[in-house]
Amino acid sequence: MAPGQIAGMGRRFLALTLDWMMSWAVGSLFFTQNTRQLWIPAVLFFQVVLLTVTTGSSAGQKIFRLSVVRYPQLTPVGLGATLIRTLLILLVIPAVVFDRDGRGLHDRIAKTAVIKAIR
C-alpha cells in the first residue's frame, strides 16, 4: 500500500486493539475493579482524542504507522471531527460497518479516513 492510501482493516483493528489494551492497563493502575469498566472507555476516549488532535494518530495507530485525516483532502483532522469519530468508535456499530472504499461509518460521518502514514 502506498503512503496516503486508506489503511486496511487488519492494521486498523490491531491499532484499536492495542489502544484498548493500553487503556485497560492505565485503568487498572488507577481505578478499582468496581469502577474500572466505566473508566477504561473514558481513558480510551481521552487518549484517542488528545493524540489524534495533536499528532494525527492514536498511540496504537502510531505504532502501526497509520494516520487519521480529513477525507478526501488528506489534511489534518480537527477537534470536532475527532470528537465525533471517537464517540462513534465507542458505540462500536459505526466502527464495524464499512463502505466499498474500506472506510467505517464513523469515518464517513466525521468525513475522515485512516491512511497509511505519509511520514
Quick: pLDDT tens for 75-109. 999 999 999 999 999 998 877 888 888 888 999 99
The residue with cell 485497560 is 24
Distance CA 114, CA 91 (A): 18
Quote the cell numbers at residue 69: 485525516
What are the φ/ψ torsions at residue 114 (nearest 5 degrees)? -100, 120
Supply the DSSP string of 43-78, one letter for each residue: HHHHHHHHHHHHHSS-HHHHHTTEEEEETTT--B--
The answer to whether residues 23 and 44 touch, using CB atoms and an 8 Å cutoff, is yes
Quick: pLDDT tens for 65-84. 999 999 999 999 999 999 99
Cα separations in angstroms, 85 against 105, 106, 110, 113: 9, 5, 6, 10
Per the confidence metrics, is the pTM higher than 0.75? yes
Q: Which helix (H) or strand (E) holds 67?
A: strand 66-70
